[in-house]
Amino acid sequence: MSIATFSLYFKTKPVVLIDVRHITPDEIAGRNLSDVKNITVWDGGRKTSLSDLFDINGPEKAPVNPEQIVVVFETGSSKLCFVGYRMSNGKIIVKGDAGHLVGYKMKGGSIVVEGNARDYVGAKMKNGSIEIRGNVGHRLGGKLLGEKPGKGMKGGTIIVHGNAGSDVGFGMEKGLIIVEGNTGNLTGSDIMGGTIIVKGNSGLYPGVGMTGGRVIIGGRVEAIPPSFYADSIVPSISIRGIKFDKPFMLFLGDVTAGGRGLLYLSYEDNKEQLDYYRLLIEDGADI
């Protein structure tokens, strides 16, 4: 299968948010290069054409099948928003930073950001894969403010090689989120399903409000939600090809939401907080 690559270079450094939601393999498929250059983008509140902001290199006609199309933003920017909006196939690469809402409502395909990204990466995505090689902002794989639990990520995979902000997976229903660094407060808040794996440390109250799914914190947490029951200590964890060869304490909750979610916390990294629960488990107490 031959691959058609469309390379985009900023003509000038952006100073306002740039909305590139229509620059996806789905939108480009079957179009002539001249038509691609005329696709609408928003430069702040100003409607303009892609070629007004970018120099574009690519074949004279795009394949009809979006799976054969790769879009490369050769110059990234934290102003570059809605990268991969609703895309269903193909691939997008950002060689640098990206802005808010990368992969928002994504249905398939893959996105790679070689730098950092801002808030709401993978929000409400249904399928596909997103890889962020730097750090991300808040509400990774989450829902929007005011929406009910379950309105967040519904499928697919997000991998962040750096750190993430607060509310990772906020309200997610399905899917897999892996953060190789640290996360902020409320990791896994209001989740109904899916798996969140944090290899580093996390902030306050991971899993608060969760009713299903799994949250695994491989490092320290600042505080454990008080509305969880300590269930047991497991000697190691192996989930989705990721293995932690050390003990974890398993908590069930959030009971205030009637939940049966699974919260795994590294025992040795949180020994001062977890020793109390360990004694209660060993004594057979009703925690």
Element (H, E) at 28: helix 25-28
pLDDT value at residue 287: 44
pLDDT, one tens digit per residue, over 257-281 is 999 999 999 999 999 999 999 988 8
Q: 96 in the Ramachandran plot: left (φ > 0), alpha (ψ -120 to 50) or beta?
A: left
pLDDT in tens, 184-239: 999 999 999 999 999 999 999 999 999 999 999 999 999 999 999 999 999 999 99
What pLDDT, on the 0 to 100 scale, is given for residue 284?
65
10 Å Cβ neighbour count for 240?
12
Task: Indicate the pLDDT class of residue 282, thresholds 50, 70 and 90.
Answer: confident
Q: What is the DSSP letter of 52?
A: H
Looking at the predicted structure, is the pLDDT value of residue 285 above 60?
no
CA distance linking residue 205 with residue 286, whole number of Å? 21
The pLDDT tens digits for 12-42 are 999 999 999 999 999 999 999 999 999 999 9
pLDDT of residue 2: 93
What confidence tens digit (pLDDT) does each residue in 120-178 have? Answer: 999 999 999 999 999 999 999 999 999 999 999 999 999 999 999 999 999 999 999 99
pLDDT for 240: 84
* Close Cβ partners of 217 (under 8 Å, ≥ 6 residues apart): 187, 198, 201, 202, 206, 263, 264, 265, 266
Mean pLDDT of 83-105: 98
Helices (H) and strands (E) in the chain, counts: 4, 21
Torsion, Cα 143 110 158 44, to 10 degrees, reads -50
Residue 279 makes CB contacts below 8 A (sequence gap 6+) with none
Token code pair at residue 129: 């894969």
What is the per-residue pLDDT for 86?
A: 98
Indicate the burial class of 146 (C-beta count within 10 angstroms; 0-12, 13-18, 19 or more).
exposed
Averaged pLDDT, 237-242: 91
Strand 91-94 and strand 195-198: the pairing is unpaired
The pLDDT score that the predictor gives to residue 1 is 75
Q: What is the mean pLDDT of residues 4-14?
A: 97
The SS3 call for residue 207 is: coil
Q: How far apart are CA 247 and CA 172, in angstroms?
A: 26
Mean pLDDT over the full length of the chain: 96
**Cα diameter, the chain:** 73
